[in-house]
Amino acid sequence: MIIPKKVEAVLNQHLEMEANAVFNYLAVASWCEREGLEGCAKFYRDQSDEEHTHFMKFFDYINDVGEHAIVPAVKQPKSKFKNIKEVCEYSLKGEQAVTKSIYHIIKVAEEEGDKATIDFLRFFVDEQREEEVQFKRIIDRIKLIGDGPQSLYYIDKEFEKILNQKIKNAAKENNAG
Ligand code: FEO
């Protein structure tokens, strides 16, 4: 046994959150497509893919340390939204819940002296900070320009811009690595 049983349990609980995030964001992408918000839809599809990567990182870690990753049942995600501001607030709330869960795993790992898991979670601490900041910024921007019909075009473009920047940053990181 490389990691304590208590840590394995909270890691498996967390797997469920990452799996739900995959489908929560896919449901948002679907809503955006129906609303004609193409930039937002692309952004949320990418966000869903990213969550799948997170899910697999946890899945692989649990199995790599010789424990058993349990694939969770997926909850039916919310599929209807009042407007794009509600979508972003929903996204931020989801990310805050994921951050809380990651901090909880770190707390349990610290109590159990599990340095391997603490080390593994460093990436996620940074990732969660970035994701929360990203949604907070988008919400601030929507508050600034409004989310009426005239503003929607600009909000949609803004999402596309953020996605393109993320793709560029990822390419840079890959080249550097
Ligand atoms: Fe993987 Fe955005 O939490």
- Whole-number Å distance between alpha carbons of 137 and 102: 22
Nearest atom of ligand 1 to the alpha carbon of 54: 1
> If you search the block for the tokens 């080390």, which residue do you land on?
119
98 Cβ below 6 A of ligand 1: yes
CB atoms within 10 A of CB 52: 16
- Going from the Cα of 62 to the center of ligand 1, the distance in angstroms, rounded, reads 17
Nearest CA, atom 2, ligand 1: 95
Q: Would you state the pLDDT for residue 147?
A: 81
Written as one string, the DSSP assignment of 43-97 is HHHHHHHHHHHHHHHHHHHHHHTTS-PPPPPPPPPP---SSHHHHHHHHHHHHHH
Nearest CA, atom 1, ligand 1: 51
Domains, in order of start, for the chain: 5-176 (1.20.1260.10)
131 Cβ below 6 A of ligand 1: yes
> If you search the block for the tokens 């940053």, which residue do you land on?
169
The ranges of the chain with pLDDT < 70 are 1, 177
Q: Would you state the pLDDT for residue 1?
A: 67
Residues ≥6 apart with Cβ < 8 Å to 62: 8, 11, 12, 15, 68, 69
